[in-house]
Structure 1
Amino acid sequence: MDRRELAGFLRSRRDRARPDDAGFAAGGRRQTPGLRRAEVALLAGISVDYYIRLEQGRGPRPSAQVLAALGRALRLTGDETRYLLGFAAPPPAPAPAEVPANVLRLLDRLDGVPAMVINACYDVLAWNRMLTALIGDLAQAPPERRNTLRWLFGGPLEGARLELARRCVADLRASGRYPADPAVRAIVAELSAASPEFAGMWAAREIEVQRTITKRAVHPVAGELELDCEILPVPGGEHRVVLYTAAPGSASERGLQKLRGT
């Protein structure tokens, strides 16, 4: 268990918590806008000393019951609670890089839907013909450039791109693979050093598993596109299948049909 990560996460969520939501007076001589340590301990049913040691990165590994109680006390979201409970479990083992054969067959059969497979680091590991028609031939790019995070933080961040970057960083943190997974640790270190925007987002410790993202773009063949990006986990590992779909009968669906014919 990484006690430093747990301590930082608990401090960030305690600072965010609203005292009045927990039944405490918001005024008075508070040194923080959030809850006091003693208030969190009271709500979670643990001793103040034990909670202080958790925030200081000391003490034994907390049980799942203690972490669940802290999640309720801090009013965490479902994704945040699952992330917190991960500290009670052994760190996840590094997943094999190979994409399962059945997933590769699935990509080939999706001849009308752009699709790709990514890992926890946002490396693009496999893709189908429709994705090539949508974004270009990834085979022409070196493997280190086939990474969504490097692409996002390699250019100006504003508008929809800024929001997408924020959500991807929150998803990377939510995977629970940092810092135990060497590949995740390496890309966090690389982007933190290269991009102040990434470093700031990572330090914010946002937790949000990405499931559906709407993307808008103008394609030279398909025209204006508004696509729903569905992110589906592959059971038994860290791989995820990313599908780009359009609303039935929409101009974006007709645009995808044009790409299918190219």
Structure 2
Amino acid sequence: MNDRQELAGFLLHCRERLSPADVGLPDGVRRRTAGLRREEVARLAGMSVDYYARLEQNRGPHPSPQLLAALARALRLEEDGRDHLFRLAGRVPPGRSCGADEHVSPAILLILDRLHDVPAQVISDSGDVLAQNAMAVALLGANVGRNVVVRWFCEPGSRERFRGADVDAISRAYVADLRGVLRERPGDARVAGVVARLCARSAEFAALWAAAGSGGGDEGGGLCEGAGRRGETVWHPEVGEIALRSQVLVAVEAGQRVVVYSAPAGSLAAGRLALLRVVGVQTMSA
């Protein structure tokens, strides 16, 4: 049952226990109340300030599981806290089975918050973007809640920021990654659903999937725009081409990957990343 009053109190308590530094935000000036401001929580969760305010004032609507998951990430809740949030909102908490949980732990989010000068994001092993830092948004766009593989094969324009020479390798790597996950967890309905959707919507994916199944290549490491290969060149409309290296940190128990993009110190790409930090985030926000 939805308990709006308890939900409102819980949200307020969670907001007040966090400082801006806890979530990677500057302290700012004239901060009169403890904890985060409502607008800061709303921005972290990707919702309107008015919507969040109504939830905290005991007059909000019935939030969806997607919004609750976003609030749990914004408020840095552990799994028990997330489950309590879902129950207060009258929702069944997500499962915790291996590889099926989309909740990003506060420890992983803390890593993202501290990586303020390089792009980094968290992706599930089925390709869902679960969290991004500001630099990742500036480089790749705001994609939390979207699937990178579906976007790559099904959305026009998704490949515009990548060199033509890299596109085929990225496509094959995405296919190999999904095949690898299904080999490890053949009964995973979520991954099987992503594959079925892609086969139905993309002739290119269907052909690559069939070819990989017949031994036509198995080049893994593609989730998050080719992560796992030695290098990747991304074109940004404000700063130009950026030649990047990606490092993948795997949270095996959660079926998640933290992908960090970097460039050698003193390189042209490093300078362009520094420029992106100044102008890119503002551009993408606008």
TM-score class, shorter: 0.5 to 0.7
1:103 is matched with 108
Q: How far apart are 1:127 and its partner, in Å?
A: 0.5
1:125 is matched with 130
| Match of residue 207, structure 1, among 207, 213, 218 | 218
CA contact (8 A) 1:221 1:258 kept: no
CA distance, structure 2, for counterparts of residue 251 and residue 94 of structure 1: 38
| Match of residue 232, structure 1, among 243, 249, 252 | 249
Decide whether aligned partners of structure 1 residues 136 and 153 sit closer, same or farther in structure 2, where only a CA change above 3 A counts: same
CA distance, structure 2, for counterparts of residue 244 and residue 208 of structure 1: 20
| Match of residue 171, structure 1, among 168, 177, 193 | 177
Q: Where does the alignment leave 5 or more consecutive residues of structure 2 unmatched?
A: 1-96, 222-227, 280-286
- After TM superposition, what 4+ stretches of structure 1 lie above 6 angstroms from structure 2? none
1:184 is matched with 191
CA contact (8 A) 1:177 1:184 kept: no
Decide whether aligned partners of structure 1 residues 178 and 200 sit closer, same or farther in structure 2, where only a CA change above 3 A counts: farther
Task: Classify the secondary structure of the residue corresponding to 1:261.
Answer: helix
Decide whether aligned partners of structure 1 residues 135 and 170 sit closer, same or farther in structure 2, where only a CA change above 3 A counts: same
Q: Where does the alignment leave 5 or more consecutive residues of structure 1 unmatched?
A: 1-91
Q: How far apart are 1:220 and its partner, in Å?
A: 2.2
Sequence identity percentage: 37
| Match of residue 162, structure 1, among 146, 154, 168 | 168
CA distance, structure 2, for counterparts of residue 213 and residue 168 of structure 1: 15
Q: Which amino acid aligns with 1:227?
A: L
Q: How far apart are 1:103 and its partner, in Å?
A: 0.2
CA distance, structure 1, for counterparts of residue 99 and residue 177 of structure 2: 17
Q: Which amino acid aligns with 2:268?
A: A
CA distance, structure 2, for counterparts of residue 197 and residue 121 of structure 1: 18
TM-score by length of 2: 0.54
CA contact (8 A) 2:99 2:253 kept: no
| Match of residue 235, structure 2, among 218, 234, 243 | 218
2:148 is matched with 148
TM-score by length of 1: 0.58
CA contact (8 A) 1:121 1:187 kept: yes
Q: How far apart are 1:95 and its partner, in Å?
A: 2.7
Q: Which amino acid aligns with 1:166?
A: R
Decide whether aligned partners of structure 1 residues 162 and 208 sit closer, same or farther in structure 2, where only a CA change above 3 A counts: closer
CA contact (8 A) 1:178 1:185 kept: no
CA contact (8 A) 1:174 1:208 kept: no
Q: How far apart are 1:213 and its partner, in Å?
A: 4.6
Name which one, 1 or 2, has greater alpha-carbon Rg: 1
CA distance, structure 2, for counterparts of residue 248 and residue 185 of structure 1: 41
Decide whether aligned partners of structure 1 residues 101 and 124 sit closer, same or farther in structure 2, where only a CA change above 3 A counts: same
Number of equivalenced pairs = 166
Task: Classify the secondary structure of the residue corresponding to 2:197.
Answer: helix
CA distance, structure 2, for counterparts of residue 184 and residue 115 of structure 1: 23
Q: How far apart are 1:94 and its partner, in Å?
A: 4.1
Task: Classify the secondary structure of the residue corresponding to 1:153.
Answer: helix
Give the stretch that moved more between structures: 223-232 or 205-214: 205-214
Show CA shifts across 1:28-79 (max 9, x none). Answer: xxxxxxxxxxxxxxxxxxxxxxxxxxxxxxxxxxxxxxxxxxxxxxxxxxxx
CA contact (8 A) 2:172 2:219 kept: no
CA distance, structure 2, for counterparts of residue 99 and residue 197 of structure 1: 32
Superposition CA RMSD, Å: 2.1
Q: How far apart are 1:178 and its partner, in Å?
A: 5.2
Show CA shifts across 1:203-222 (max 9, x none). Answer: 22343431235221221222
Q: Which amino acid aligns with 2:266?
A: G
Q: How far apart are 1:241 and its partner, in Å?
A: 0.4
